[in-house]
Chains A and B, each alone.
Chain A
Amino acid sequence: MKGIFSVLVENKDGVLSGVSGLFARRGFNIDTLAVGETDNHEISSMTIVSTGDQRTIDQIEKQLNKNIDVIKVRRLSEAKSVCLEMMLVKVAYNASNRSSLIELCQITGAKIMKVAPKFLLLEYHGEPESVEDFIQLLRSYGIQEIQRTGTIAMEKV
C-alpha cells in the first residue's frame, strides 16, 4: 500500500539526513520526498510518499513521530487530499513532429518555457499519475532530460 506523510520538521541542519536515514536504516522505501520551508522559517514541511505493507506504513509513522526534530506527522489519504507533482522536461523535436508536440502541450496544459532549435523545455504539473501518463506520451519524441519535484500533498478538509 501507499503511505503519504505530511511532516513538519525543525528547519535545522541534519534534520533531512535524520529523516532519510531513518528510512534507510529500517529498510523503508522512499518513493518521493519533497521539502520546503513553511510560512514560519523555523519549520519546514516534507511530503514523503512510501510504499509497504500495513505494518511498515504504521512503523514509519511511529518512527517519524519518535524523531525529536519532527514536530508533527500526518498520514494523508489519497482520496481526501490534493496530491500534486511538478516536472521540467526537455523534449526533442523535428520539423515533422513539431506541431503535434505543441498540440499535445495544449491538450495537456503543459507550458512551453523555452523553444530551442532542437528541443522544447516544458513545465508540467498535475496529479502524480497524470505526470506519469504525460511522460509516456513524450517518450516517442525523445526525452533529453527530466526533473521532477516529487509529490506534495495537502488534505482537502
Chain B
Amino acid sequence: MTGAEAMIKCLEAENITKVFGYPGVAIAPFYEGLYNSDIKHILVRQEQNAGHAASGYARLSRKPAVCVVTSGPGATNLITALATAYADSIPIVAISGQVSSKLLGRDVFQEADMRGATKSFVKYSYLVKDPDDIPSVFKEAFYIASTGRKGPVLIDIPMDVQNSTLKKPFVYPDSVHIRGYKPEIKVNMNQIRRVVQALAQARRPLLCAGGGVILGNAETTIRAFCEKFNIPIVHTMMGMGVIPKSHPLNFGMLGNNGKPYANNAVEQADVLIVVGARIADRAVSKPESLARRVAVIHIDIDTAEIGKNLGPTIPLVGDVDDIFKILLEEEIRPADPSWIAELEDIKHGTVDTRVFSDRYVNPNLLVQTLSDKMDDNAIYVADVGQNQLWSADNYIMKDGRFLTTGGMGTMGYSIPAAMGAKMFAPERQTVAVCGDGAFQMCMNELATMRENNAEIKIVIVRNNYLGLVREYQYNLYNGHYEGVRLGEWPKYDKIAEAYDIPFFICSTNDALDETIDAFLAYPGASLMICDVDSNDRVK
C-alpha cells in the first residue's frame, strides 16, 4: 500500500465522504488515491475557499471536515482559512502536499515551509516523513481537531512519502496516546460547589453564552439550566443560536455592536456566568472593570482562556455540556421574577434612534424580513462588514444556525462556508448574506456551487462601498473616503446570468416582502441584490 492509499484509508476510517480541495503536482499521488475511492472531491476555485467550505461543513456536521491543497502557493492560499478556523475554533483537518522530503529546505520549486508558516494558526501540525506514520498521524489529527477546544490541524505530506510503500501492514489505530494532550478534563466538584454557592446568593444572575456553547453541543442543556433557575441569557455574536430570539429569557447580543439592553443587563447583573466566550474586545470594552463589579463565573474548555481577558471570580474548566448537566441537577432557588421584569422593562423602553434612509432598503428591515420568512431550521451565513453587524443585530433566530467569522472577520467567508454547510445538510435552506465587497472576494465559488448543485441563496447588500471601512472613515477621518469606493461594477444581473441562476433585485422597502418571497420560493440557487444607502451606518 502506498502512502497516498493509506491516506485514503484513514479518511475512510474517519467516515469522510467529501473533501474540498485544489490539486497540484505535490498532492497528485493523493488525487490518484481519490480517483480510486468513493470519497467525493469538491473542486473549489481558490484554496482559501476549500478551507472556508470545510469550515461550513464542519460547523453543521459538528465533526472535523477535510480540505486538501498542493504545496507552495496552494498551501499558502489556504492560510487565511486556517487562521479563520483557528480563531473560531472550527475543527478542520487540512492536508497539504509538499515537495519531496529529500528536497526539503532547498527552496525548490513550490516549496513553502507550511508548518512554520502556520504555527500560530493551527492547533497542531505534522510534517510526515515516513509513510508508516500516516495512520497514527491521521488518527491524532482528527482527534486533536475535534476534542478539547476544537481547531484546525495541518498534515503536510511530501510527495515521495505519498508515493512510497508502507513497510508495515496498514492498521488504523483505535485510540490515541499523546503525552502532552489530555483534553478530557474531569469537572472539579469543588468549583461546582462554589458556583452553586455564588448562584444561591445571586439576586441578579445573568448567563453570557459564546460560540463555545455551540461548539460544545450544549445549547439544549444550557437552555434547560436557564429555564430551571430563571436565569436570563445574553450572547456574543458567535453565541447566536444558543437560544431563539422569541425565548422570554433571551436578552440579545452584547458587545459594542450588540443591543444596549443586553449590555445594560451585564451592567445590572451581580453574578455573570460566562460560558465558552473569550470576552474579547468586541464583546466587553473594559473587562477589568466588569470583573471588579460583578462575580464572574467563567466556564470554558480551554484553561488558557480563563483569566486571559477577564479575571474571573470562579473559574471552571471542562466540557460545557458536562458541566451544565451537573449544574442542572442542583437545587438552587430560581432567580426572582422581578429581575427578569426589570430587564423586560429596559428592553421595551429602549428606543432605536438610528435613522435610515428610506431612499433604498432599510438594512435592519431587510434582515428582519428575510430571517422571519426563512425556514425555522435555516442556515444563515453572514459575511463581514456592515451587513454582518446588521445581520447579527436584527436576525430572528428560530431553530436554525447563524454562521459567521467572529474571531478573524475574514471577508469572503459567507459563500464558500454556506456552500460547505449546504453540502452537509442539503435539505436545509441556506442563505449567504454579504456585502458587495466580500461578494467580489468569493464570487468565483458560484461555479463550484453550480457544479455541485449546492443550492444556496445569496443576498448581496449593495452600497457600492466597503461600507464598514467607509463608516470608520466617516467617524474618525471626517469622511475622507479613501480606497473604499467599489463603484458600479460588476453588473450583477450579468453575473447571475453567467452562472445561469435567477436574479432578484430590491431597491425599496415596499418591494421587500414580495421580492424576498419570490427569492426564497425559487427552488434552486438564486441571487438577490438589496440596494442600501451608502450613508446608512451601523451606529
Contacts and interface: CB of A to CB of B under 8 A. Distances in A.
A122 interface: no
Contact of B308 (A18, A59, A67, A72): A59
B329 to A, nearest CB: 29
Interface in B159-206: 178-181
Given A17-B116, A21-B120, A68 B304 contact: no
Interface in A118-135: none
Given A10-B179, A68-B144, A63 B119 contact: no
Contacts of B119: 17-18, 21
A9 B304 CA distance: 18
B308 A14 contact: no
B181 A55 contact: no
Nearest to B148: A66
Interface string A52-77: 00010011001101111111100000
Nearest to B125: A14
B508 interface: no
Contacts of B125: 14
A39 to B, nearest CB: 15
B181 A68 contact: yes
Interface string A100-112: 0000000000000
A25 interface: yes
A148 B178 CA distance: 34
A14 B304 CA distance: 22
A121 B144 CA distance: 50
Given A14-B127, A68-B124, A62 B180 contact: no
Contacts of B123: 68
Interface in B59-104: none
A13 B307 CA distance: 31
Contacts of A17: 116, 119
A137 B370 CA distance: 78
Contacts of B302: 66
Nearest to A69: B180
Interface of A: 9-10, 13-14, 17-18, 21, 25, 55, 58-59, 62-63, 65-72
Given A62-B304, A68-B178, 18 more contacts: A9-B180, A10-B180, A17-B116, A18-B119, A55-B311, A58-B307, A59-B304, A59-B308, A62-B303, A62-B308, A65-B303, A66-B302, A66-B303, A66-B304, A67-B180, A69-B180, A71-B180, A72-B180
A147 to B, nearest CB: 27
A65 B304 contact: yes
B506 to A, nearest CB: 45
Interface string B107-121: 000000001100110
B307 A55 contact: yes
Contacts of A65: 303-304
B64 to A, nearest CB: 16
A17 B113 CA distance: 13
16 contacts: A9-B180, A13-B127, A14-B125, A17-B116, A21-B119, A55-B307, A62-B304, A62-B307, A62-B308, A68-B123, A68-B124, A68-B178, A68-B181, A70-B180, A71-B180, A72-B180
A18 B122 CA distance: 11
